[in-house]
Amino acid sequence: MQPIAFRVTHQTVLVNTQAANSRLFSIRNAHAQNLLRLRRLTAQWMQTGNHTAAILDDLALYKVTGFTVSDTTNKVNLAGVNTNTNGVGPGSAEVRGLAAAGNSAGMTGGTLAKAGGPNPLSQLSQWLLAAQATAGTVFPMFGELIIPKSPLVLAPNEGIIIENSILLGAAAASAVYFELEWDELVP
């Protein structure tokens, strides 16, 4: 198979009363026969304001199947940048990110089913504080949700989603930055 390499980045925010299981990011294999090999997915998560109460939250990554429609509401369509020099077009991945201004419901409107039920493939935890530190440097949580040693391969109508796990309070503020690299495998 001839691999064509792509990458994309996206930044969004978690907002007041961010819903549990609200979708923040997704990629769907929309091709009839090509495969997508996800090589690397990182997330950086930084608290940007005070929360109603201190809370431990997670970003949870799920593999999904029956992914026949990508989210249509509260989303931004993201175009993967072809990192090859062969001039091949944009590829067949549909990548969506929660609108940069955020939305408490997350992205909605997609048709999909979580593979493996409620158990995520990967998680990134963040302790969010009621009173954010005002002195010193605030460091983001950084995590690789897919590591290069074990790439995830997506068949047609499969994908991944990243969700916020816990319902946040009346006051909440975080910025989340995603970076994804993948290959489209053309037979």
**Looking at the domain assignment, is residue 173 inside a domain?**
no
pLDDT score for 92: 87
pLDDT score for 77: 92
Cβ within 8 Å of residue 20, ≥6 positions away: 164, 165, 166, 167
**Looking at the domain assignment, is residue 118 inside a domain?**
yes
**Looking at the domain assignment, is residue 25 inside a domain?**
yes
pLDDT score for 1: 59
pLDDT score for 85: 56
- Summarised one tens digit per residue, pLDDT across range 138-180 is 777 788 887 667 789 999 999 999 999 999 999 999 999 999 9
Higher pLDDT, 5 or 144: 5
Question: What's the number of domains the chain is made of?
Answer: 1
Range of the domain at 77: 2-44+53-129+141-167+178-186
**Looking at the domain assignment, is residue 146 inside a domain?**
yes
- Summarised one tens digit per residue, pLDDT across range 8-21 is 999 999 999 999 99
**Average pLDDT of the segment spanning 105-128:** 91
> What are the DSSP calls for the chain, one per residue?
-EEEEEEEEEEEEE-TTPPTTEEEEEEEE--SS-EEEEEEEEEEEEE-S--SS-EEEEEEEEEEEEEEE---BSEEEEPPEE-SSS-----SEEEEEE-TT--TT-BB--EEEETTTT--SEEEEEEE-SS---SSPPPPEEEEEE-TTS-EEE-TT-EEEEEE-S---SS--EEEEEEEEEEEEE-
**Looking at the domain assignment, is residue 172 inside a domain?**
no
- Summarised one tens digit per residue, pLDDT across range 38-69 is 999 999 999 888 999 999 999 999 999 999 99
Mean pLDDT of the chain: 89
pLDDT score for 148: 63
**Looking at the domain assignment, is residue 23 inside a domain?**
yes
In this predicted structure, the answer to whether residue 76 has a pLDDT above a threshold of 90 is: yes
**Looking at the domain assignment, is residue 135 inside a domain?**
no
- Summarised one tens digit per residue, pLDDT across range 80-103 is 888 765 656 668 899 999 998 889
Tell me the two tokens of residue 42: 């990182």
